[in-house]
């Protein structure tokens, strides 16, 4: 991967990566620093010790975990780089690049069920259980005791919003214009979501910033992790990442709006876990947020508008497109990206990272292309968990192939105080997501009753 020219970055620094100095820029995610330095293999999987590299770049998978300053299992895609920090790979012996335990994958090509291996055999079953525990560990314990927990902070507002992406920020703007009391929680350090980091149409609206909303109404670097009730009422439990460390934030409200989008989807195909298979939103964020071209010769796979927009962004950023493969099963229409083919039966090629892609065209022709990245552009799988915890109903949507929160046009759910907007209701483009956020805000204010 290479850094793009003309991109504003933080101060140039170095970090220690297993005893070597790696160039980085202050504030960028550590994973970006490593990728830009040519490091693609971050760890090994806990059972078969297959190579692992970043996939989602948003803390939803575990492929970018490293030991950071003596603390194991840190999401490097969410950890800002700072001068002198120590980074170490984990879960491999003697090293990630040469891991003797990867032989497990070769010795058991049909899979290894360690729960039943030697079960019932005296002594052997206990030895096998001990070996399995050692092989499946996720790093060593931290070097030192964790710092004391900071006291929780409490907020009380009329409306609490989880997610400051397209839908959440659109809703917050309406609430601000009407003078409502609200708190907007956003896990990233900026608002806007796809508008700021995604592959979007050229005529998409500009994202809001925290300065566009009332002072104190926005909490960035704050992730809503649960929706609970206690003797004081119902509240979002959130983890706030500040200069002083982590803090629990309890946001009590009369009504709640969930706009946390969805998880990147990965279709099942052979070797889909190789470093170099990257979620579409991750690829676009690397380009737009961090100024890093994720691959120079890229195969883009997926369907719908997401496929076309990502292919356009990659090409405009300087990547060569080895293939653009539509997985929907339909013939590409006239509005598809030029050269798109309908394909199936994907297989990523390569040993420690992606070196190519094989697939079968709709007409049956077998195809192989060389590439250094497979970018997966599919509608996200709705993040329904938080709304469901609050009592919202979740249903399976066959057209999405995923579960989503059930809600009416204004975002009302089965729980009278829980509203939803954006991707949690299904795959929406940026225009539809923004409009759903505005409708939900009106309903929260009573305008949709």
Q: What confidence score (pLDDT) does residue 19 get? A: 92
Does 109 score more than 90 pLDDT? no
Fold of 2-135: Ubiquitin-like (UB roll) (3.10.20)
Q: Structure pTM?
A: 0.91
Helix (H, G, I), strand (E, B) or coil at 196: helix
- Tokens coding 343: 């394909």
Does 449 score more than 50 pLDDT? no
Mean pLDDT of 370-392: 96
| pLDDT tier, 448 (very low <50, low <70, confident <90, very high otherwise) | very low
Q: What confidence score (pLDDT) does residue 106 get? A: 81
Domain 153-263+382-444 matches domain 277-377 at the CATH topology level: yes
| pLDDT tier, 260 (very low <50, low <70, confident <90, very high otherwise) | very high
Q: What confidence score (pLDDT) does residue 26 get? A: 96
Provide the residue ranges of all domains of the chain, joining segments of one domain with +.
Answer: 2-135, 153-263+382-444, 277-377
Q: Is the domain 277-377 a CATH 3.50.50.60 member?
A: yes
Q: Is the domain 153-263+382-444 a CATH 3.50.50.60 member?
A: yes
Mean pLDDT score across all residues of the chain:
92
Contact status, residue 401 vs residue 391, Cβ threshold 8 Å: no
pLDDT tens digits, one per residue of 126-136: 887 777 766 66
Q: What confidence score (pLDDT) does residue 447 get? A: 53
Q: Work out the burial of residue 145: count CB atoms within 10 Å of its CB; fewer than 13 is exposed, 13-18 middle, 19 or more buried.
A: exposed
- Tokens coding 159: 């409306």
Angstrom distance (rounded) from CA 386 to CA 405: 10
- Tokens coding 235: 């509240």
CA distances to 181, 278, 289, 356, 370 from 302, in Å: 41, 12, 22, 16, 18
pLDDT tens digits, one per residue of 10-23: 999 999 999 999 99
Helix (H, G, I), strand (E, B) or coil at 309: helix
Does 2 score more than 60 pLDDT? yes
Q: Any idea which of 115-119, 140-144, 277-281, 332-336 has the lowest mean pLDDT? A: 115-119
Q: Any idea which of 83-87, 140-144, 251-255, 429-433 has the lowest mean pLDDT? A: 140-144
Q: What confidence score (pLDDT) does residue 137 get? A: 63
Does 95 score more than 90 pLDDT? no
Helix (H, G, I), strand (E, B) or coil at 82: coil
Helix (H, G, I), strand (E, B) or coil at 410: coil
| pLDDT tier, 97 (very low <50, low <70, confident <90, very high otherwise) | confident
């Amino acid at each position: 991967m290479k850094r793009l020219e003309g991109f504003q970055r933080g101060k140039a620094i170095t970090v220690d990566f297993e005893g070597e100095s790696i160039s980085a820029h202050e504030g960028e995610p550590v994973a970006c620093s490593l990728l830009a330095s040519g490091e693609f293999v971050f760890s090994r999987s806990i059972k078969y010790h297959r190579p692992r590299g970043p996939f989602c770049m948003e803390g939803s998978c575990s492929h970018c975990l490293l030991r950071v300053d003596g603390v194991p299992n840190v999401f490097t895609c969410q950890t800002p780089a700072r001068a002198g920090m120590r980074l170490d790979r984990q879960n491999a012996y003697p090293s990630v690049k040469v891991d003797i335990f990867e032989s497990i994958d070769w010795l058991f090509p049909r899979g290894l069920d360690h729960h039943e291996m030697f079960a019932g055999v005296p002594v052997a079953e206990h030895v096998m259980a001990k070996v399995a525990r050692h092989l499946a560990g996720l790093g060593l314990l931290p070097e030192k005791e964790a710092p004391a927990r900071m006291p929780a902070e409490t907020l009380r507002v009329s409306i609490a919003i989880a997610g400051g992406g397209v839908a959440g920020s659109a809703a917050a703007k309406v609430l601000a214009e009407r003078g409502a009391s609200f708190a907007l929680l956003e896990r990233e350090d900026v608002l806007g979501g796809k508008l700021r980091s995604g592959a979007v149409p050229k005529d998409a609206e500009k994202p809001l910033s925290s300065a566009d909303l009332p002072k104190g109404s926005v909490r960035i670097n704050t992730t809503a992790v649960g929706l609970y009730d206690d003797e004081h009422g119902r509240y979002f439990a959130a983890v706030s990442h500040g200069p002083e460390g982590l803090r629990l934030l309890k946001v009590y409200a009369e009504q709640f709006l969930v706009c946390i989008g969805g998880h990147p989807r990965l279709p099942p195909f052979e070797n889909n876990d190789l470093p170099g298979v990257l979620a579409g939103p991750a690829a676009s964020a690397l380009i737009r947020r961090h100024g890093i071209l994720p691959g120079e010769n890229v195969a883009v796979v997926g369907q719908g508008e997401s496929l076309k927009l990502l292919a356009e962004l990659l090409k405009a950023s300087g990547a060569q497109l080895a293939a653009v493969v539509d997985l929907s099963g339909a013939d590409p229409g006239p509005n598809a990206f030029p050269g798109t083919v309908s394909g199936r039966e994907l297989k990523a090629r390569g040993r420690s990272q992606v070196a190519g892609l094989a697939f079968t065209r709709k007409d049956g022709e077998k195809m192989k292309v060389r590439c250094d990245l497979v970018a997966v552009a599919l509608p996200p799988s709705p993040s329904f968990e938080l709304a469901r915890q609050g009592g919202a109903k979740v249903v399976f949507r066959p057209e999405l192939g995923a579960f989503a929160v059930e809600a009416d046009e204004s975002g009302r759910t089965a729980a009278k105080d829980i509203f939803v907007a954006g991707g949690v209701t299904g795959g929406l483009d940026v225009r539809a997501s923004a409009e759903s956020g505005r409708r939900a805000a009106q309903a929260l204010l009573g305008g949709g009753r």
